[in-house]
Amino acid sequence: MRKRVSNLAESVGAVVLVHLFASGALAAPQPPTAAQLQTGQRVFTAQCGFCHGRDAMGGETGPDLTKSPLVRDEAAGDRLRAVVRDGRVDKGMPAFRLTDAELAAVVAFVRDQKVKAESPGARRSVSVADLQTGDAEAGRRYFNGAGRCAQCHSPTGDLAGLAARLQGLQLLQRMLYPSNGRGAKVAVDLPSGETVRGALAYRDEFTIALTDDAGRYRSWPAPQVKFKVENPLEAHAEQLGKYTDDDMHNVLAYLQTLR
Ligand code: HEC
Ligand code: HEC
């Protein structure tokens, strides 16, 4: 995943990081700086906003993060980091590779949104109208060019009639993260030296589980085994970090023409 952090944000992040190690918690006791909030908003909009809502208050597919105990409680910092790093792939939360500084900035942004959400006149910012602002021609160019979508897809092949099947946020969600991680495979190395392979059945910060070839569900405490997940949607997970807001709206506008 590309890193797009300005030097200023890096140094702000470094200060936060020192604090993280000192306290073991995610949040700094000082209020976040404007630069940190700006970084947080940029990362959040690019990578989290389409599922959790640009205002972090919940989208079509992701919960309201301003109400999440993982974000609210400073002591839950480790668990929050684990959710973002590992995802909850089976439930539609992809894994992300954010630096600690980026994640701290995202958390600062979400907490700030929580304050705003509780103030009068707050309103939601995910709207269907917002999904209609893209430029379809620019989206077509991105699809065939920089986005490299045409490597795997064709508007007259697998994506023919897509917009007739899916509209609005549903189409956006499918475009961003198509199948909630279904189809991912995992290989688990047990302490005994045995390696067990199968379809990824469950993954969170505590547990890794698979269904083996015999159809048996097997699970292990995630910290006690080594495992490697292979996801056919890796390209989509990576793409989440590459889209600019404009690219995303343009590609969506283009896909909306595939009827
Ligand atoms: C493709 C959609 C999608 C994207 C993108 C996404 N999430 Fe999620 N996220 C989800 C879903 C769905 C859940 C609920 C998972 C569950 O039910 O356990 C979730 C859950 C979470 C939770 C746990 C909330 C709780 O209280 O249990 C956190 C924290 C979180 N997401 C943060 C993020 C951050 C930060 C980003 C961006 C770096 C992000 N998410 C991007 C879909 C998404
Ligand atoms: C390396 C291969 C690869 C690349 C590159 C790729 N995708 Fe995908 N895409 C997939 C796979 C695999 C699926 C899942 C197909 C399924 O679930 O049936 C998928 C599914 C989709 C779907 C849902 C299709 C449906 O029928 O519901 C859309 C929309 C989509 N991709 C759009 C894009 C866009 C836009 C890009 C470029 C920014 C892109 N993809 C890049 C592999 C890729």
Query: Counting atoms of ligand 2 from 1, which one is nearest the CA of 174?
Result: 23
The pTM (predicted TM-score) of the whole model is 0.56
Instruction: Kindly give the distance from the C-alpha atom of residue 211 to the centroid of ligand 2, in angstroms, as a whole number.
Output: 24
Contacts 24+ apart (CB under 8 A), 130-135: 131/168, 131/169, 131/172, 131/249, 131/252, 132/253, 133/249, 133/253, 134/246, 134/248, 134/249, 134/250, 134/251, 134/252, 134/253, 134/254, 135/249, 135/250, 135/253
For residues 238 and 28, the model is more confident at 238
Q: Is 241 in the pocket of ligand 1 (CB under 6 A)?
A: no
**pLDDT (tens digit per residue) in 98-145:** 888 899 899 889 888 887 777 665 544 445 566 778 999 999 999 999
Instruction: Kindly give the distance from the C-alpha atom of residue 258 to the centroid of ligand 2, in angstroms, as a whole number.
Output: 14
Q: Is 203 in the pocket of ligand 2 (CB under 6 A)?
A: no
**pLDDT (tens digit per residue) in 70-96:** 887 877 778 888 898 888 877 788 888
Instruction: Kindly give the distance from the C-alpha atom of residue 153 to the centroid of ligand 2, in angstroms, as a whole number.
Output: 7
